[in-house]
């Protein structure tokens, strides 16, 4: 089943967790004194939607410093601001789809070849076969695995287990993306480009 089909069939729990996971994977490393897991409050309410609106507001505020210094964090904060306050499948579906595209775009910008075309519905329908470097391919696979795992644990069958698996997959993906971005930054520093402190 394609990523677009999985999003179309997901319930509000799966859509909320999928959207949060997409944003969580793309967060830049925190600076000293910043929360290393700023989206964790949202993970905690994806199961039932309890306090969803309040926690969205809190997370949006928590990312203010990161967004002021980092363009990717600013994009993630904007996406959080666009999240529906109602924990309902209809509005969450559009938001989860936008989060999927944002995550793919951020991965594409760091992929090899760099910036090779924007993610399209065709890529998300056909997956790796439609093209994209290793980062985009891995992100497509990760998004699908999260949605599939959550679909298998709906209606109390597995309960928080699906969310735990989604969080683990997201954490793994964040490590991969940060490692690639760090290597690329070091490479630019050696060739006279931007040097990170």
C-beta contacts of 131-135 below 8 A and 24+ residues apart = 132/108, 133/108, 135/107, 135/108, 135/110, 135/111, 135/176, 135/177, 135/180
Q: DSSP 3-state assignment of 34?
A: coil
Residue 196 lies in a domain: no
Mean pLDDT score across all residues of the chain = 86
Residue reference for tokens 């698996």: 165
- Specify the pLDDT at position 173: 95
> pLDDT tier at 55 (50, 70, 90 boundaries)?
very high
- Specify the pLDDT at position 153: 80
Residue 197 lies in a domain: no
pLDDT tens for each residue of 167-178: 999 999 999 999
Residue 109 lies in a domain: yes
Segment 22-49 mean pLDDT? 93
The tally of domains found in the chain comes to 1
- Specify the pLDDT at position 118: 59
Residue 195 lies in a domain: no
Residue 111 lies in a domain: yes
Alpha-carbon span 93 to 188, nearest angstrom = 38
User: Does residue 29 surpass a pLDDT of 60?
Assistant: yes
Burial level of 149, CB count in 10 A (0-12/13-18/19+)?
buried
CA angle, corner 165, sides to 180 and 2, nearest 5? 75
Structural tokens at position 147:
């949605």
pTM of the model: 0.87
- Specify the pLDDT at position 194: 41
Alpha-carbon span 139 to 84, nearest angstrom = 24
Residues of the domain holding 148: 3-190
Residue 36 lies in a domain: yes
Residue 72 lies in a domain: yes
Percent of the chain with pLDDT over 70: 81
Residue 109 CB contacts under 8 Å (≥ 6 apart), including other chains:
115
- Specify the pLDDT at position 185: 75
């Amino acid at each position: 089943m394609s990523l677009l089909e999985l999003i179309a069939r997901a319930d509000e729990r799966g859509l909320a967790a999928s959207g949060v996971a997409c944003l969580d994977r793309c967060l830049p490393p925190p600076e000293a004194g910043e929360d290393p897991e700023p989206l964790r409050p949202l993970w905690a309410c994806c199961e039932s939607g309890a306090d969803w609106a309040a926690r969205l507001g809190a997370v949006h505020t928590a990312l203010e410093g990161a967004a002021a210094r980092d363009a990717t964090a600013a994009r993630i904060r904007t996406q959080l601001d666009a999240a529906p306050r109602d924990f309902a499948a209809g509005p969450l579906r559009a938001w989860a789809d936008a989060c999927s595209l944002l995550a793919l775009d951020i991965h594409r910008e760091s992929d090899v070849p760099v910036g090779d075309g924007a993610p399209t519905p065709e890529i998300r329908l056909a997956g790796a076969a439609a093209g994209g470097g290793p980062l985009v391919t891995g992100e497509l696979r990760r998004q699908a695995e999260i949605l599939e795992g959550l679909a298998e644990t709906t209606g109390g069958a597995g309960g928080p287990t699906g969310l735990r698996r989604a969080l683990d997959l997201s954490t793994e993906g964040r490590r991969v993306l940060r490692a690639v971005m760090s290597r690329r930054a070091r490479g630019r520093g050696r060739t006279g480009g931007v040097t990170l402190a």
